[in-house]
Amino acid sequence: MSPIKESFATFLKTQLNEEQQKAVTQSRGSMLVVAGAGSGKTRVITARIAHLIINEQIDPFSIVAVTFTNKAANEMKKRIVHFLETENRTTQIPFIGTFHAYCLRLLKQHAKYLEYPFFSILDEDDQHKIITNIIKRNNLQKQVTAKQVAYQISFIKNRSTNPKHEIIATQPKLLQDIYTAYEQEKRESKSLDFDDLLLHTVKLLHSKKEVKQGLQKQIRHILVDEYQDTNVTQHELLKQLALRTKKQLSVDSLCIVGDEDQSIYSWRGATVTNILKLHHDFPKTKIIKIEQNYRSVQPILEVANNVIKHNQHRNPKKLWSARKGNNRICTLLCLSEYQEAEAIAQFIKLLTGSKQRNAIAILYRAHFQSRAIEETLIRHSIPYRIIGGIQFYERKEIKDLLAHLRLIVNPFDRTAFFRIINCPPRGLGQSFEELFYTRWRAEPFLSFNDIATKLINEGNLTAVKKTSLIQFLQIFEDYTHKTQPTTTLKHILKTTNYIEYLNHTCDKEEAESRIENIKELMQAFIYFEAQGTTTLEHLLDEISLMQKKMHGNQEQKQQVLLMTLHAAKGLEFNTVIIVGLDEGLLPSSRSLEYEESTEEERRLLYVGITRARERLMLMHARYRYTYGQMVEQCCSRFLDEIPQHLQQQQDVSYWNNDQLSHFFSLWLGIIIRQKSSLKTFGAAATTKQKYHRKSLAQSNGWKINQPVNHPQFGIGTVKKVEEKGNNKIYLTVNFKMGTKKITEQFLKKI
């Protein structure tokens, strides 16, 4: 047995549990691996790839592994390389990347079948600029915004492989007209947006049988991670790649990994139906459930299990852990969002040493909830960081320089051209841009060089504009899509005097910051070249796929982390604090009338809970401030789903900071020196204060089979009355369009 095989065999026996081994070693057919939170799914999917190459002797080039983020793809690549390396040799690894990266690769490989073989990729900012111009030309500024239109177009492209038909069938004429103009603009500038990468690939595979058959002959094993986050178009892409006929696999194996309990992105087009009904398109799919969790202590998993089991649309499973623990979950009833924040500050201050702080995450449903927490942490001199911010490749100076490079690669890229024609300023302002745009629209098959040359030769430009335009064209002389990135960037910086432009237009601190970013961009180019990305075209393709890349130097440690529940996906922390467990916040008010929306809110809480390794704190408030007024709150229905014996419940709504500190010290099991006697804490701190929620509401005369009227759904019949422990009555009502579970205030008795 070779050293690689021997090492890998040892890994399989000692590092994987029984269900993980099944998922790794099943060699044929379609398989759905339902991998619960913290169950080691990345280890499983990478070990499966290694198993195919090492034990099954599969050609790496016949394996395709697709995931959702560059970070996940890079982590998988590192693990595969580790499995396959020996002292003298490194085996080639298969394609591992995002859906968009794989589709871009296929489109480039089969460019001869496309309408235009060379194309630019539009990012979100580019899309908005095109749509903004369309809106302005049609005087629609008061009716719609570019952001709204771009979101709607993207949402439709994600849920339909024929977006034009979908828009005509479902959207108002205003959006139809903007969409038509947007698509025309992209065609004329030979550009695709990110959604187009998937759509054009699906179209290519559907319309060109020779391409599809060739790919299916080459690809023998497909693996897809995070399948609960896929949209309709991505599911259709998988069908085109993996099915020979409607129900017959074309590949030797198909491995789908995901967890419907972590499906939280419906707002951007993801549909949990893809994973729940996978067997409809792949009828012989074997389901393997991986339920052992390696992240959290058992009590936290029991809380998560009890919450998520109330969802009806899921594959039943129950997470468990070999890691035991006691007194790990507390639920606090606070007076308001300000006491929530104060309690958090007192808890953090108790921890000995700042090194523990970056293991604490404060999670919330919506961004606006961070304000009170931030102000309180600042007041207590507790360092914190909000996860998010402007991404590196979205910063102005970076986008300006990349636009120059894009124009070299694609001289038809209008978005890039109009971004930089007067940046730095060269006297070619709005009137010139309008003239240039009009001429370019009239002759869309000409490049920017051709249009500019025509304008210069016609002699209608002023001497200043003519000189500026000639100097602009000289920037791009002798540079093509095959030139070296670093050499080209140095040339752009020198010929545009971009550094001087920053020093002239920005204050010292801002200019220094932006110049540092440019230096970092140059360093990135050097890195790309060292990795084999030696042409502008290849480099721009790579950068276009980096949607989540942030500036490495901005990573800071030893800070409490604040983020939304959505942002917490994929992360883990020793202690997780979830605030705002009130009806209308979590679940959000927008989700309360629809069962599928409420289930997604429950999944969102489940994701938050399963981020915690050691401790979990859940917080809700008696009151919250709205327009300066204290508005009484109802605790979240999700709290009612957690058995009381799993949590330490405490009403702290009238406690002072000393009482809070004492409670947390007991919960943490630490001894602290108090400046005053425990007697000063009051009875609430030295004895167990009774935790109580509001009493159940009376039924108010609601009866089974009672007719009711709803402003949206019309007339219906009450089929079930439930009194929850959050002072609300929920009624299950049969309407003509279906059954809904609705709170009583939205219904009128007939």
Q: What pLDDT score was predicted for residue 420?
A: 93
Distance CA 473, CA 67 (A): 41
Structure tokens at 221: 């094993």
Give the residue-averaged pLDDT of 343-370.
Answer: 82
Q: Kindly report the average pLDDT of the chain as a whole number.
A: 85
What single string gives the DSSP state of each residue in 656-689?
A: -HHHHHHHHHHHHT-----SS-GGGG-HHHHTTP
> Residues near 472 by Cβ (< 8 Å), separated by ≥ 6?
421, 426, 428, 452
In a 10 Å sphere around its CB, with 0-12 CB exposed, 13-18 middle and 19+ buried, how is residue 60 labelled? middle
Identify which has the larger pLDDT, 411 or 559.
411
pLDDT grade for 694, boundaries at 50, 70 and 90: very low
Residue 690 has pLDDT above 70, yes or no: no
Question: Range with the lowest mean pLDDT among 43-52, 141-150, 179-188, 231-240?
Answer: 141-150
Q: Write the pLDDT tens digit of every residue in 189-211.
A: 999 999 999 999 999 999 999 99
When mean pLDDT is compared across 27-36, 387-396, 514-523, 578-587, the lowest value belongs to: 387-396
Domain 3-112+198-292 coded CATH 3.30.230.10: no
Q: Please report the pLDDT score of residue 310 as a whole number.
A: 94
Lowest-confidence region among 4-18, 77-91, 517-531, 550-564:
550-564
Band (pLDDT 50/70/90 cuts) for residue 710 is confident
Burial of residue 308 (CB within 10 Å: 0-12, 13-18, 19+) is buried
- The architecture that CATH gives domain 329-383+560-668 is 3-Layer(aba) Sandwich (3.40)
Mean pLDDT of 386-399: 70
547 pLDDT tier (thresholds 50, 70, 90): very low
- Catalytic annotation, residues: 41-42, 225-226, 262, 611
Is the pLDDT reported for residue 746 higher than 50?
yes
104-128 pLDDT, tens digit each: 999 999 999 988 888 999 988 899 9
Rounded to whole angstroms, the maximal C-alpha distance in the chain is: 92
Cα–Cα dist 573/557, whole Å: 13
Q: What is the mean pLDDT of residues 322-348?
A: 91
- CATH superfamily, domain at 394-545: PCRA; domain 4 (1.10.486.10)
Which sign, positive or negative, has the C-alpha torsion 512, 517, 518, 520? positive
Percent of the chain with pLDDT over 90: 46
Please state, in angstroms and as integers, the Cα–Cα distance from residue 589 to each residue in 263, 325, 486, 582, 721, following that order. 19, 35, 51, 10, 20
Per DSSP, 518 falls in state H
pLDDT bracket for residue 384 (50, 70, 90): confident
Helix or strand or coil: residue 733?
Answer: strand
Model pLDDT, residue 677 = 39
Looking at residue 686, what is its pLDDT?
A: 37
pLDDT of residue 354: 47
In sequence order, what DSSP letters do the residues of 48-115 get, joined into one string? HHHHHHHTS---GGGEEEEES-HHHHHHHHHHHHHHHB-SS-B----EEEEHHHHHHHHHHHTGGGSS
Question: Would you say 693 and 333 are in contact if contact means Cβ atoms under 8 Å apart?
Answer: yes
Answer yes or no: is pLDDT of 503 > 90.
no
Q: Supply angle C-alpha 369, 372, 376, rounded to 5.
A: 140
Q: How far apart (Å, rounded) are the C-alpha atoms in residues 686 and 678?
A: 7
State mean pLDDT over 527-542.
81
Give the predicted TM-score (pTM) of the model.
0.73
Phi, psi of 501 (to 5 degrees): -60, -45
Q: Which pLDDT value is given to residue 498?
A: 94
624 in helix, strand or coil? strand
